[in-house]
Copies of this chain bind each other. A is one copy, B any other.
Amino acid sequence: MAYTDIAGQCAAAGAAAKTLASAGADVKNRALDAVAQALTQDAERVLDANRADVEAARKSGMSAAMLDRLTLDPGRIAGIAGGVREIALLPDPVGKSDGTTKTPDGLMIERRRVPLGVICAIYESRPNVTVDIAALCLKSGNSAILRGGKEAFNSNLALTGVLRSAISGAGLPEDCVSLVTDTSRESVDTLMSMTGRIDLLIPRGGAGLINHVVSNSKVPVIQTGVGNCHVYVESSADLNMAANIIFNAKCSRPSVCNAAETLLVDRSVAADFLPLAKALLDTKNVELRGCPETCSVIPSAVPARDEDYYTEFLDFILAVKVVGGIDEAIAHIGKYGTAHSDAIVTDNYTLAQRFLDEVDSAAVYVNASTRFTDGGVFGLGAEIGISTQKLHARGPLGVEHLTSIKYVIRGSGQIR
């Protein structure tokens, strides 16, 4: 994997993408199975490289939570390989046509799914992302250029090495997958300037990285994964149901993007509801950061600053605000939210409809936890992330979202 520079790496990926675009589903699935098998067989090589990364990260003072995300073990590698096998089992999105229409003068017009070409992912320290994205790109007929974080560099190099030999062993070009070995900030800037060579850039990671890429990329971007999600408890809600929903949305997996970060409660039920919710949230020691009215009901709550309502905590912390009704709740979500997943708990039909219609988020819920926003639950199979933008794809991104369309027209001499 020795490229002269990033432009050269993009050119190699582009050439590989041409071969991959016309590869049949069986060839691609064979390559994916080979990848899964190689990951298990070469696990020791990957684990050695990962140990070096973890050691260096520990010395540099990385937090325990981040160290955990960086660390691989045989069980995690088996899990990653299992994920690749599941991707192999998905239907092939490429070549699918939604039917052919015949025009009055006999032209046959077909709309057919085609790969995008070269997809670049820019992400942070989790090495499993390297394999997930490479496998989803391979399935959808796209070359993957991977720019992981420097903390996981050795792990990523070992993983892409395993991927490339497995892919090449299965008869596809190894340049279908490649790692950007320059982990400096400059390489991100170079990747963002590769219009015409990279067809799609997917930033995955914290809000800082994503905003930098969205604001500066000349290459088309899909932004994923920043989820400042809300649960709004309306006055007619079943309060026990509401307490269960906020507890689940906050605590079942706080580090993921569909976890709730802010609880909004109608004034008329705040005094009844907040102690009920607190009793459950206390079992996970959730820190509450509340508005003055919240703090007057729950004296142990920390006074919230305005910025808390903008924050994706990804932790056992919950911002809480008492509101005057649905208008204030919807306005709050529009101002502070990230248009990811937001829920209302209510028994009022009209207000439920209003919330669903007026909250402008990728997923809007009545009487259910925000945690359901997921490619698997929504029927897409494995996902590459959750898009919070409106263009191209919104919500969970499956392999079909890594394709475009092409009009194929067969004639017999028609002119216009």
**Interface residues in chain A, defined as those with a beta carbon under 8 Å from any beta carbon in chain B:** 18, 22, 101, 103, 107, 109, 114, 116-117, 195, 199-200, 214-216, 218, 220, 222, 238, 241, 244-245, 247-249, 252, 352, 356-358, 360-369, 371-373, 377-379, 389-392, 394-395, 404-416
Contact = CB atoms under 8 A, between A and B. Distances in A.
Contact of A248 (B103, B358, B369, B416): B416
30 contacts: A22-B357, A22-B358, A101-B379, A103-B377, A109-B377, A109-B378, A116-B390, A195-B214, A199-B390, A215-B218, A220-B391, A245-B413, A245-B415, A247-B415, A248-B416, A366-B411, A367-B410, A367-B412, A368-B413, A369-B414, A369-B415, A369-B416, A371-B416, A378-B407, A390-B404, A391-B391, A391-B392, A391-B404, A394-B404, A394-B405
Nearest to A109: B378
A414 B368 contact: yes
Nearest to A244: B415
A21 to B, nearest CB: 8
Contacts of A407: 362-364, 373, 378, 395
A10 to B, nearest CB: 15
Nearest to A345: B413
Contacts of A408: 356, 364
A245 B414 CA distance: 7
A42 to B, nearest CB: 34
Contacts of A103: 372, 377
Contacts of A107: 368, 372, 377
Contacts of A352: 410
A89 to B, nearest CB: 19
B415 A371 contact: yes
Given A369-B416, A391-B392, A414-B369, A409 B364 contact: yes
Contacts of A362: 406-407
Nearest to A368: B411
Contacts of A114: 360
A368 B216 CA distance: 41
Given A22-B357, A101-B379, A220-B389, A411 B252 contact: no
Contacts of A411: 365-368
Given A103-B377, A367-B411, 10 more contacts: A101-B379, A107-B368, A117-B390, A200-B391, A244-B413, A363-B406, A365-B409, A367-B412, A392-B392, A394-B405
A367 B413 contact: yes
A366 B173 CA distance: 30
A259 to B, nearest CB: 11
Interface centre among A18, A215, A377 (most CB of B within 10 A): A377
A339 to B, nearest CB: 10
Nearest to A352: B410
Nearest to A401: B391
A101 B357 CA distance: 19
Contacts of A200: 390-391
A406 B395 CA distance: 8
Nearest to A115: B390
Nearest to A258: B416
A378 B360 CA distance: 31
A207 to B, nearest CB: 14
